[in-house]
C-alpha cells in the first residue's frame, strides 16, 4: 500500500526542496578566524542533485540562514531556488507562486521544527534518521541515513526508483547498472 502511495506521490513531483543544516550537512557550522562560516557537504548528496536534474526535476533550498558556503554549493549544483528565512511556510508559498506549482508537486526534506509547516503541506515529505520524533511522525518517509551522511541522496534515489526512472537516468549519464 505504502509503495503505491509513494509511487503516486512521486509521479506528480516537479520540484525537490531541501533544508541545509541537518540535511545537506550534519548540522555543524565552523566559524573561521575571519568570521566566515564553513560547512561540510556530502558529495553523494551533491550527486543526488545531479540525478534529480538529469531526471527532469528542479531542486532548491529553503534554509533558515543563507551563507556564502550555502549559496556557493547551490550555485555549483545548479539548484534553481535558494531562499533563506525562518518562516519556511511563507517562503514555500512564495516558491509555489513563482514556479506556478501546487503543493502536491513538491517534495521536501527537513530535519528540525522550523521545517514542520512545509513537511505537512508538500506532496512528499522526508526526514533524516536523526530528526526529532515529532518530525518523524509528520513525515511520509523516515530515511535510513542521518543528515549530512547521504539522507538527501537516499531521498532522491527513492523518488527516482518509485518513478521507475533511476536506471534510465543513470543510463542518460553514461552509467549502466543492472535492475
Q: State the pLDDT at residue 1.
A: 57
Does residue 161 lie within any of the structural domains? yes
Does residue 173 lie within any of the structural domains? no
What is the mean pLDDT of the segment spanning 49-77?
A: 94
Higher per-residue confidence, 176 vs 62: 62
Average pLDDT, the chain: 95
Q: How far apart are the first and last CA of the chain?
A: 22
Q: ∠ CA(50), CA(95), CA(51), 5° rounding?
A: 10
> Does the global pTM surpass 0.85?
yes
Number of structural domains found in the chain: 1
Does residue 153 lie within any of the structural domains? yes
Is 85's pLDDT higher than 80? Answer: yes
Residue 28, C-alpha cell as written in the block: 555543524
List 126's β-bridge partners, or say none.
Answer: 109, 141
Is 59's pLDDT higher than 60? Answer: yes
CATH number at residue 129: 3.40.50.1000
- What 3-state DSSP class applies to 109? strand
Residue with cell 536506471: 167
Q: State the pLDDT at residue 76.
A: 96
Q: List, for residues 147-161, the tens digit of each pLDDT value.
A: 999 999 999 999 999
Domain that holds residue 64: 2-168
Q: List, for residues 27-39, the tens digit of each pLDDT value.
A: 999 999 998 888 9
Please answer whether residues 146 and 130 qualify as being in contact, where contact means their C-beta atoms are separated by less than 8 angstroms: yes
Amino acid at each position: 500500500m505504502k509503495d503505491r502511495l509513494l509511487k503516486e506521490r512521486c509521479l506528480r513531483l516537479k520540484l525537490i526542496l531541501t533544508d541545509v543544516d541537518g540535511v545537506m550537512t550534519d548540522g555543524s557550522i565552523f566559524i573561521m578566524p575571519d568570521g566566515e562560516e564553513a560547512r561540510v557537504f556530502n558529495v553523494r548528496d551533491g550527486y543526488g542533485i545531479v540525478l534529480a536534474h538529469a531526471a527532469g526535476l528542479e531542486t532548491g533550498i529553503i534554509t533558515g540562514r543563507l551563507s556564502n558556503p550555502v549559496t556557493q554549493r547551490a550555485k555549483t549544483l545548479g539548484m534553481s531556488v535558494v531562499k533563506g528565512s525562518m518562516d519556511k511556510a511563507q517562503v514555500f508559498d512564495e516558491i509555489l507562486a513563482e514556479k506556478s506549482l501546487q503543493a502536491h508537486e513538491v517534495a521536501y526534506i527537513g530535519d528540525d521544527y522550523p521545517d514542520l509547516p512545509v513537511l505537512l503541506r508538500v506532496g512528499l515529505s522526508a526526514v533524516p534518521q536523526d530528526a526529532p520524533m515529532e518530525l518523524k511522525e509528520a513525515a511520509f518517509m523516515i530515511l535510513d541515513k542521518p543528515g549530512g551522511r547521504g539522507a538527501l541522496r537516499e531521498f532522491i534515489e527513492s523518488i527516482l526508483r518509485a518513478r521507475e526512472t533511476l536506471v534510465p537516468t543513470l543510463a542518460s549519464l553514461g552509467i549502466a547498472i543492472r535492475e
